[in-house]
Amino acid sequence: MQRKDQTVRSFATYLEVLEDQLTPYTEEQRVQHLFSKLRPEIQRAITNYHQVPATREDLVALGSTLEKNLRRASPARESHQRSKFGTKPKEHRPTEQTLGTSTNKNPRDRNNVTCFKCQKAGHYANECAERITQTT
Instruction: Give the best-scoring range by mean pLDDT among 19-23, 79-83, 86-90, 115-119.
Output: 19-23
For the chain, domain boundaries? 8-86+93-104
Calpha distance 102→26 (Å, rounded): 34
Tell me the per-residue pLDDT of 5-48, one tens digit each, with 9 for 90 and over: 999 999 999 999 988 888 888 999 989 999 999 999 999 999 98
- Measured in degrees and rounded to the nearest 5, phi and psi for residue 116 equal -75, -30
Instruction: Find the Cα–Cα–Cα–Cα dihedral 75, 82, 63, 6, rounded to 10°.
Output: 80
Tell me the per-residue pLDDT of 46-84, one tens digit each, with 9 for 90 and over: 998 767 889 999 999 999 999 999 888 876 555 555 555
Calpha distance 97→45 (Å, rounded): 12
User: Would the pTM count as exceeding 0.85?
Assistant: no
